[in-house]
Amino acid sequence: MLKIFEKFFSSFSYPLLVLGCLIFVVFPKNGFAQKSPAHHYYSLWGGYSFNSVKFLGKTGNSQTGIFAIGYRHQLKKFHGEGNVYYTTDLIPYVHFDYPKRDENDRRVSRNGFGVSPVGFMWKEDELDTVVPFAQISGGLIYMESEFPTDLSRKLNFTFDITVGTDIKVGSIFEFSLGYKFHHISNAETGKHNPGLDSNFLFLSISTQ
């Protein structure tokens, strides 16, 4: 059953996510959503996963670090409820330290880079100093060598779910912290597709 979920998230979740969210944003029902001025935000964020879980992926006992440059753009404002944003991230650095299952779980380290071109965030109305949010996104990671086994692929696909809190610092800065579930696999394009699930704790600073 988990293999079926993994294959779905890796292969089909991204186009379905994009289609569903575009329909939701572009065709609101009966004026439920009203158009509002666009807001643009830029961020630097980093995270660390102290251990992986075997949920969609099969690679356990792994540590992961990530650094990214983010952008978000307000799509819709639901008055009295919250805001929907489009998000994208450039990931210049991601590092995995993990047991290589095709070498008797020998510890290895691998680096990569990538992009999460499509993401969507729901954020509560920014009336308070502390504002909760939730986000989903998908992307690509290119590793320096086949990952996580020799029969896998350098090019991998990612899917993540994020929950966190924004804390306003002055009039133009936000400090964020939260949790990100991050899945990476080759979507069955390699002979091996163990996949890896990271549990990131992250920090971010954003500005308009």
Task: Kindly report the CATH number assigned to the domain that includes residue 57.
Answer: 2.40.160.20
Closest CA to 112 of 151, 157, 150, 70: 157
**Which residues does residue 47 pair with via DSSP β-bridges, in sequence order?**
66, 202
Rounded Cα distance, 17 and 10, in Å: 12
- Provide block-wise average pLDDT over 10 residues at a time, the chain (208 residues): 43 44 42 52 97 93 97 89 94 97 94 98 84 96 96 96 93 93 95 95 95
Looking at residue 30, its pLDDT comes to 40
- Residue type for position 69: I
Residue in the structure block whose two tokens are 């696999």:
185
pLDDT at residue 79 in the model: 78
Q: In the chain, how long is the greatest CA-to-CA distance?
A: 59
* CB 102 within 8 Å of CB 193: no
In which domain, by residue range, is 37 found?
2-207
Q: Could you tell me if 70 and 88 are in contact, meaning their C-beta atoms sit under 8 angstroms apart?
A: yes
Taking a C-beta distance cutoff of 8 angstroms, is the pair 65, 47 a contact? Answer: yes
Nearest residue to 171 via CA among 206, 134, 202, 131:
206
Q: Tokens 């643009």 label which residue? A: 40
Q: What is the pLDDT at residue 111?
A: 98
**Looking at the 3D structure of the chain, how many domains does it have?**
1
pLDDT at res. 63: 97
